[in-house]
Amino acid sequence: MKLENKVIVVTGAGSGIGAASAKLMASSGARVIAVDIDLKKAEETVAEIKKLGGKATARQVDVTQFKEVEDLVKQVVKEYGSIDVMVNNAGIGGKNQNKTAEHTLEDWHNVIAVNQTGVFYCMKAALQQMMLQGVGNIINIASLAGLKPSGNNLSYSASKFAVVGMTKSAALEYGRKNIRINAVCPGYTHSSLLDQLLASRPDMVERLKQMIPMGRFGEATEVAETVAWLASDSSKYITGQTITIDGGTSLH
């Protein structure tokens, strides 16, 4: 995958899919800005990238704060001259796995703020810059839960259906401006998000594996491969799409 010198911002780059994507793209020549609410974790990703000879810097940003997102874009442009690719990956799962009547207001507000409003803020700020550049590429990390009902996690499902909708709506608006916008929809993928959920509900492990035609959970590096491909010019005629990486789970 050729990403030579592309300036790529990855949110939630301190862990899981974001960290794997940041590392893979840096190893393909990109200059990566690893963004996370947890600066220490973003710095760990950057240290691993640098150890392998890649280029990266870490930034602490909470994607639920528009001012922080705007400042991030300004700083990156000041330092690097452009933002070629924005990967909107930061996301949370919510604390409770309950039916809708018991879904907590806390989970609703927190999950929507990060997964939905955060993606909107990052798209808005990146698009303003990409319009000035006359070119751009946005990759939103949605989920299988944004394509199919999953149950017992209404805010997560709502937020991910929203990410798919925002991706398609914005792709329609910006195609003629030479800006591509796609979504990646991972199925059950090993990361702190999934592993914490499974640790709290060990009964779910075998039940979920039964639902996956390939019989195993995905790896963050497998999602990263698709993110890197979408970031590259190899996918340059693709926009407004959702690409599902789920070992066949969506076939049910």
Ligand X SMILES: NC(=O)c1ccc[n+]([C@@H]2O[C@H](COP(=O)([O-])OP(=O)(O)OC[C@H]3O[C@@H](n4cnc5c(N)ncnc54)[C@H](O)[C@@H]3O)[C@@H](O)[C@H]2O)c1
Active-site residues: which are they? 156
Least distance from C-beta 114 to ligand X, angstroms? Answer: 5
Q: Does 36 bind ligand X (CB under 6 A)?
A: yes
For the chain, give the secondary structure using H, E and C.
CCCCCCEEEEECCCCHHHHHHHHHHHHCCCEEEEEECCHHHHHHHHHHHHHCCCEEEEEECCCCCHHHHHHHHHHHHHHHCCCCEEEECCCCCCCCCCCHHHCCHHHHHHHHHHHHHHHHHHHHHHHHHHHHHCCEEEEEECCHHHCCCCCCCHHHHHHHHHHHHHHHHHHHHHHHHCEEEEEEEECCEECHHHHHHHHHCCCHHHHHHHCCCCCCCEEHHHHHHHHHHHHCHHHCCCCCCEEEECCCHHHC
Angstrom distance (rounded) from CA 202 to CA 195? 10
The residues in 206-225 that bind ligand X, with binding defined as CB under 6 A, are 220
Q: Which of 3, 10, 18, 136 contacts ligand X by CB under 6 A? A: 18
Size of residue set near ligand X by CB under 6 A: 31
Task: Considering only the stretches 24-32, 36-44, 122-130, 230-238, report the one whose residues sit in contact with ligand X under the rule CB under 6 A.
Answer: 36-44
Least distance from C-beta 93 to ligand X, angstroms? Answer: 7
Angstrom distance (rounded) from CA 108 to CA 124? 22
The end-to-end CA distance of the chain, in Å, is: 32
Q: Which of 72, 126, 127, 194 contacts ligand X by CB under 6 A? A: 194
Instruction: Pick between residue 17 and residue 154 the one whose CB is nearest to ligand X.
Output: 17
Q: Does 136 bind ligand X (CB under 6 A)?
A: no
Q: Which of 137, 191, 235, 244 contacts ligand X by CB under 6 A? A: 191
Q: Does 89 bind ligand X (CB under 6 A)?
A: yes
Q: Which of 27, 28, 97, 192 contacts ligand X by CB under 6 A? A: 192
| Among 11, 252, 247, 241, residue whose Cα is nearest residue 126 | 11
- Pull the structure tokens for residue 228: 């890197």
Q: Does 14 bind ligand X (CB under 6 A)?
A: yes
Q: Does 243 bind ligand X (CB under 6 A)?
A: no
Q: Which of 193, 198, 208, 211 contacts ligand X by CB under 6 A? A: 193
Instruction: Pick between residue 175 and residue 216 the one whose CB is nearest to ligand X.
Output: 216
Q: Does 244 bind ligand X (CB under 6 A)?
A: no
Least distance from C-beta 41 to ligand X, angstroms? Answer: 5
Q: Does 15 bind ligand X (CB under 6 A)?
A: yes
- Using CB under 6 A as the criterion, what x/- string covers residues 160-189 for binding ligand X? --------------------------x-xx
What residues line the site for ligand X (CB under 6 A)?
A: 11-12, 14-18, 36-38, 41, 61-64, 89-92, 114, 118, 141, 143, 186, 188-189, 191-194, 220
